[in-house]
Amino acid sequence: MQVRNGKDFWAGLMFTGFGLGFMLVAQNYPMGSAVRMGPAYFPTVLGGMLAVLGGMVFFRAFVSKFTYPLKVFLFRPLLLVGSIVVGGATYFAESQLKGVPMVQSALAGLSLFLFIGAFGPRSMFLILLGVVIFGYALKPLGLVLSTVVLIVISAMGGHDFRKKEIVILTIVLVIFGVFVFVKGLGLPFNLWPGE
């Protein structure tokens, strides 16, 4: 048996994985009956359907008339394993780490970055990295600095990074953000750290 359609192969695995995952987690909740459905009822049924459909897509990958290589997009399995190890450790060591929340967040963050880095091209990693940092930096650093971080990191994900242009773009967007988001729309962001 040879995989003919790489896209179907992975899509099938993904759907089955999601379906089984939802079914498994749903078993923690009461099932109820058809008359009085518990919180587990609907997700279990749907999860089962999804797993079956995933199976269909998976098997279709071997007989498909479309052919795609098995390597559909960049994938770095080592990083994924690392992410799961760090993430799992953080999750199960939660009780030990209660006293030091900083360490826990740092580990969770590391796991997340490894996870994002495991898939896709470099540009995606940089863009999503910029986005996540922006989200967590907005409150402590303020709008101005986090905008700078977002624009510079995400611009590095592009094909040609032109320093001068990015500097100008950043300045323009910072001014725009301050006047439109904060002054104009009245969004409750602080502009500078510690305000």
Partner 1 sequence: MDFALFHNLSIGFGVALSLQNLMYCFIGVLLGTLIGVLPGIGPVATIAMLLPVTFNLSPISALIMLAGIYYGAQYGGSTTAILVNLPGESSSVITCLDGYQMARQGRAGPALAIAAMASFFAGTVATVVIALFAPPLAEVALKFGPAEYFSLMVLGLVGATVLAHGSLVKAIAMTILGLLLGLIGTDVNSGIARFSFGLSELSDGIGFVIVAMGVFGFAEIVSNLEQGASRDVFVNKVTGLMPTWKDLKSSSGAILRGTALGSMLGILPGGGALLSSFAAYTLEKKIGDTSMFGKGEIRGVAAPESANNAGAQTSFIPLLTLGIPSNPVMALMIGAMMIQGIAPGPQVMTERPELFWGMIASMWIGNLMLVILNLPLIGMWVKLLTVPYRLLYPSILLFCCVGVYSLSNQPFDVMLTALFGLIGYVFVKLECEPAPLILGFILGPLMEENLRRAMLLSRGDASVFFTKPISGVLLGIAILLLLITLAPAVRKTREVAFQE
User: What residues numbered 168-187 form the site for partner 1, per CB under 8 A?
Assistant: 169, 173, 177, 181, 185-187
CB of 99 to partner 1, least distance (A): 18
DSSP tag of 33 = -
Rounded CA-CA distance 18/25 in Å is: 11
- What's the one-letter identity of residue 129? L
Distances (CA, A) of 18 to 11, 30, 114: 11, 20, 21
Q: Using the rule CB under 8 A, which residue among 76, 120, 142, 145 binds partner 1? A: 120
Please tell me whether residue 154 binds partner 1 under the rule CB under 8 A: yes
Which range binds partner 1 by CB under 8 A, 82-90, 95-103, 157-165?
157-165
String marking each residue 15-44 x if it binds partner 1 according to CB under 8 A? x--xx--x--xx--xx--xxxxxxx--xx-
Residue 134 engages partner 1 in binding (rule: CB under 8 A): yes
Number of residues binding to partner 1, judged by CB under 8 A: 71
The whole-angstrom separation of Cα 121 and Cα 83 is 17
Verify binding: residue 112, partner 1, rule CB under 8 A. yes
| Residue 20 CB, nearest approach to partner 1 (Å) | 11
Provide CB contacts within 8 A for 150, sequence distance 6+.
130, 131, 133, 134
Q: How far is the CB of 190 from partner 1 (least distance, A)?
A: 11
**4 vs 99: CA distance, rounded Å:** 52
Tokens 């360490």 correspond to: 103
Could you tell me which stretch among 77-85, 95-103, 129-137 binds partner 1 (CB under 8 A)? Answer: 129-137
Q: How far apart are CA 142 and CA 189, in angstroms?
A: 7
